[in-house]
Structure 1
């Protein structure tokens, strides 16, 4: 395992400079009494008249600072025994069939881990507080926020920025490096997606700069109010949905650089949004998700390709559906808690499960028209 101390010892990054808090107003921070937390401050993106906040170049050979910090902190958490099992020892296989779905055997898997996390970690609509962080400090890895310098940096601080994302280890990991990404404002925990939040999540994915890193979001429709919780983990190989061909639905090469495609021949109706423009991608995703939320529609988001590609999985309500499927399941990756279920997993069973939550042709056509309309109207 890579320890935190090993990463701190790097000479090519100013990793753990103590932050006095003098560079930001206390009106925009909360004091963490008796607690120190790592802050990852994102560098400022140059926004020219034509760039409109384009992503920085990705896919470099060297490991990024944020990737190093995330993995070292997560592995240190695992080394301390904060995780319930070693997910790297779980057996996986590709099941027979055309779709090449992937299944994992995890007999210690807890399918209710997200609900337990909400109940045990998140305060009901409450602000982020010192006691809140202190009581869960073993699993809080660090915080990501927008910095004020050209380059990204990591500091150790007793002050939490007003807005940011808490990176928290998931004690029930689905894959290596599995974390919760919890957007927050010191005065509240958000209940819906907004552009600033989506942009910060995308910036985080860009900054990690790893082809294995994927971000998930599940919008579960229920009678209770849910906090906004993203998740992320590392996958050694692309998820099955990423390997399917796509059919163009909309393209705006000149103004926004956004492309919208439909994933062809996939059992779950799926759209994918692609682009190197931070503002445009976060704008369109926020508007579409807001519209789906207003209409009470469940959906999932999968962010891949260094933050430049977002899969949208709309889900239909179904009487035979005992629960909405998770984002990794939408992507073709399924976890089984028993050896019997793992050994007997079949493409037929998974196809039926995915079809039970997929939109019908008419509803999906309406969604495509809505997405195109939003894309056009955002930049009239």
Structure 2
């Protein structure tokens, strides 16, 4: 069935005269229960493109048309072309992409010293961006359960994009929230994935120390027209009710939360995930999170069965700043199997073994990992739902 088209797509585009940008204000993208796509999303035989005219959801149409316009207007740090892409030989299925411009031209990360660091208004934050960088405000209709209070989520371009359609989801930037995951932000991220009919639209979060470069609450969302290992990686339950699982397969062991769609089950998942990230933040443990359509937990989960939403959480060593000499820096997309590589030389020579070694170097030592696992299992065991 064709996804609904946006009947007012031009409302998310900027007027030709830049002087009118501020006067126009931020348009609202209002969505309801019926637009959350629960079933029928799967990978086609040929990789789907965001640049063709195939039917897309209203969310995809609004985001991609506005994002493309901002690219044409020169609001990004570089013009993103078709990225050279390869699947590394081996059992994991790493998707490597050459993105030289991002490695050279992205904004330097802020001076972060702690996962719990307070917001600093003197540092760059999303209240300092140009008006044209905001695409729209994401608003839920009252028929959607779970929100006692409406969140003001701004969807804005990432000026140093990883891939096509790379955006930031920023909850109420004027509140000056530090980079600590909150339920409203996670709900917006999960529902953004459900609003897209593209199987490769993913959302993620980097904590401070987990390569977040700006200490102002935000999530990443972007399209990648390739399957990733974590979509169907096998897992083992860590609690008898199945609320927490352990992904054991490469690229990296992580904690898996799963929901089949919106409603009480999704609200319970949001609560569990945020309790887990609160524990990690309170104990100054860096972490990354990835939201993707995927298979239910289990020992064997074919990646083609995108029947629900997988939320994967990795606890990892803190890493402050960027390691210039590495082929890639390990954050949310790398742990999921997507490797944006900085140089042609590294792209041509990168192997699965080398990629796994770089990722392994960022993980917690075994003793600390076991301690974190035990703590999260005990935390989830207190869940009454």
In the alignment, does 2:295 pair up with 1:311?
A: no
Count of aligned residue pairs for this structure pair: 327
> Which residue does 2:303 correspond to in 1?
none
TM-score when scaled to structure 2? Answer: 0.72
Contact 2:110–2:213, Cα closer than 8 Å, also in 1: no
> Which residue does 1:76 correspond to in 2?
69
Change in CA separation of 1:361 and 1:75 when aligned onto 2, cut-off 3 Å:
same
Please tell me the root mean square deviation across aligned C-alpha atoms, in Å. 3.8
**Structure 1: 5+ residue runs without aligned partners?**
1-9, 19-31, 46-54, 152-160, 253-257
- Output aligned runs, 1:1-380, within 5 Å: 13=7, 34-43=23-32, 57-59=38-40, 63-110=56-103, 113=106, 115=108, 124-125=120-121, 132=127, 136-148=130-142, 163-184=151-172, 186-221=174-209, 226-252=215-241, 259-276=243-260, 277-305=265-293, 308-317=309-318, 322=323, 325-379=330-384
Contact 1:216–1:303, Cα closer than 8 Å, also in 2: yes
* 1:163 shift after superposition: 3.4
Q: Give the Cα separation in 2 of the matches to 1:244 and 1:178.
A: 25
Change in CA separation of 1:197 and 1:312 when aligned onto 2, cut-off 3 Å:
same
* 1:295 shift after superposition: 0.6
Contact 1:102–1:240, Cα closer than 8 Å, also in 2: no
> Which residue does 1:7 correspond to in 2?
none
DSSP 3-state at the match of 1:250: coil
Q: Give the Cα separation in 1 of the matches to 2:186 and 2:93.
A: 31
Change in CA separation of 1:250 and 1:238 when aligned onto 2, cut-off 3 Å:
farther
Which has the higher mean CA deviation after the structures are superposed, 291-300 or 182-191?
182-191
Q: Give the Cα separation in 1 of the matches to 2:144 and 2:318.
A: 46
**Structure 2: 5+ residue runs without aligned partners?**
13-20, 43-54, 112-118, 295-307
* Structure with the largest fraction of strand: 1
Bigger Cα Rg: 1
> Which residue does 1:23 correspond to in 2?
none
Q: Give the Cα separation in 2 of the matches to 1:172 and 1:17.
A: 24
Change in CA separation of 1:148 and 1:229 when aligned onto 2, cut-off 3 Å:
same
Q: Give the Cα separation in 2 of the matches to 1:337 and 1:361.
A: 30
Change in CA separation of 1:112 and 1:352 when aligned onto 2, cut-off 3 Å:
farther
Q: Give the Cα separation in 1 of the matches to 2:11 and 2:332.
A: 37
Q: Give the Cα separation in 2 of the matches to 1:68 and 1:107.
A: 28
Change in CA separation of 1:125 and 1:280 when aligned onto 2, cut-off 3 Å:
farther
* 1:14 shift after superposition: 6.3
Change in CA separation of 1:373 and 1:59 when aligned onto 2, cut-off 3 Å:
farther
Post-superposition CA distance 1:17-71 (Å, at most 9, x none): 89xxxxxxxxxxxxx97242111123269xxxxxxxxx77344696322122111
* 1:11 shift after superposition: 7.8
Q: Give the Cα separation in 2 of the matches to 1:170 and 1:68.
A: 18
> Which residue does 1:48 correspond to in 2?
none
Contact 1:259–1:275, Cα closer than 8 Å, also in 2: no
* 1:108 shift after superposition: 1.6
Contact 2:109–2:213, Cα closer than 8 Å, also in 1: no
Q: Give the Cα separation in 2 of the matches to 1:98 and 1:149.
A: 44
Contact 2:5–2:56, Cα closer than 8 Å, also in 1: no
Change in CA separation of 1:198 and 1:125 when aligned onto 2, cut-off 3 Å:
farther
Q: Give the Cα separation in 1 of the matches to 2:68 and 2:11.
A: 22
* 1:267 shift after superposition: 4.7
